[in-house]
Amino acid sequence: MRVNTIKVHNLLVPSKLPDADFVINPYIGCNHGCVYCYAEFMTRFTGHAGEQWGDFMDVKQCDKALPQKSRGTSILIGSTTDPYNPLEKRYAQTRAILQQLQDTEAHLEILTKSPLVVRDIDLLSRMKDVAVGISLSSMDERFSRLIERRAPSPQQRLDAMRTLSDAGITVYAFISPIFPFLSDWRQVADEVSAYSAYTCFENLNLRGTYKRTVLDLVSKHFPQSAQAFSDIYRDRQRFTEYWKHVAKEIKAYMAGKPYRLYFFHEKIKKK
């Protein structure tokens, strides 16, 4: 993997995401090797056109201090990269950002697949309004290794949730992406329930070059589900109907428990 250090004018940028006013991405690129990664589109805008997503990482450096946003605003760390990817052990960019944001009045969220986040419990525990989201698609180790080749194991992520929760830090599960017929989201919801303040659910969206990659993977490793799986992504109406059905199942299964649906990238539904 090629690693570069680059200078940027700002780390904090406005966001169009429905649940974040600003985002911070300490790195460009990600080395988890997730076959479904939507962020590969970034190569067109970051000087990496023609390069394979996952073959490079840029470490951002900024001399400008982060502004201290006011109460009522929200900041997400990790919208197009994992802020606790393996390079964080060496460069500690995310930790430096947390040090700068110690006195922020804004609501801060961190989204990661990595147990490395527990390293920063000392900083997180002193922040006024922070939540850590741990992303999980499945508790099945074999399935996880197929779709997230170099990411930490599901058990490592669950252990991180436990450690964060025991430290008094708000932690939530981000069950994403749900693969039709293959992701047992009920099992994940059950496993995280003891530690998660709330649970988020996001469906698998397929577009761009990674659509064929995912369909080929399913065809090779799960031939019994391949036809039904691919049918969902060949017809927009079938896609919509399928995920509306799953949304109803989630609503019934999570009755009485706090959860959020991130389906179709519409306005967030909070329960």
The full set of domains in the chain, from first to last, is: 2-270 (3.80.30.30)
- Provide, for the chain, the percentages of residues in helix, strand and coil under a 3-state DSSP scheme, each rounded to the nearest 5: 35, 20, 40
Beta strands at 259-262 and 269-270: parallel, antiparallel or unpaired: antiparallel
Going from the C-alpha of 231 to that of each of 38, 210, 237, the distances in angstroms are: 20, 16, 11
CA angle 35, 37, 40 (to 5 degrees): 115
Q: End-to-end alpha-carbon separation of the chain, Å?
A: 42
Spatial separation of the C-alpha atoms in residues 129 and 169, rounded to whole Å: 10
- What does the buried/exposed string (b/e) look like for 204-237 if buried means 16 or more CB atoms within 10 Å of the residue's CB? bbbeeebeeebbebbeeeeeeebeebbebbeeee
Q: What are phi and psi of 64, to 5 degrees?
A: -80, 130
pLDDT for 116 equals 98
pLDDT for 245 equals 97
Q: Which amino acid is at 70?
A: S
Q: What are phi and psi of 222, to 5 degrees?
A: -135, 60
Spatial separation of the C-alpha atoms in residues 217 and 204, rounded to whole Å: 14
pLDDT for 164 equals 98
pLDDT for 1 equals 74
Residue 238, CB half-sphere, CA atoms under 13 Å: how many? 9
Q: Which amino acid is at 195?
A: Y
Classify residue 185 by burial, with Cβ atoms within 10 Å: 0-12, 13-18, 19+: buried
Spatial separation of the C-alpha atoms in residues 166 and 147, rounded to whole Å: 30
Contacts of 227 (CB under 8 A, 6+ apart): none
Concatenate the DSSP letters of all residues of 92-153 into one string.
Answer: -HHHHHHHHTTT--SEEEEEES-GGGGGGHHHHTT-SSEEEEEEES-S-HHHHHHHBTTSPP
CA angle 107, 111, 116 (to 5 degrees): 115
Spatial separation of the C-alpha atoms in residues 235 and 199, rounded to whole Å: 29
Q: What are phi and psi of 112, to 5 degrees?
A: -155, 160
The one-digit pLDDT tens for each residue of the chain (271 residues) are 788 898 999 999 998 887 889 999 999 988 888 999 876 666 666 666 666 766 788 999 998 888 777 788 999 999 989 999 999 999 999 999 999 999 999 999 999 999 999 999 999 999 999 999 999 999 999 999 999 999 999 999 999 999 999 999 999 999 999 999 999 999 999 999 999 999 999 999 998 778 999 999 999 999 999 999 999 999 999 999 999 999 999 999 999 999 999 997 544 345 5
Concatenate the DSSP letters of all residues of 143-158 into one string.
Answer: HHHHHBTTSPPHHHHH
pTM of the complete model beyond 0.85: yes
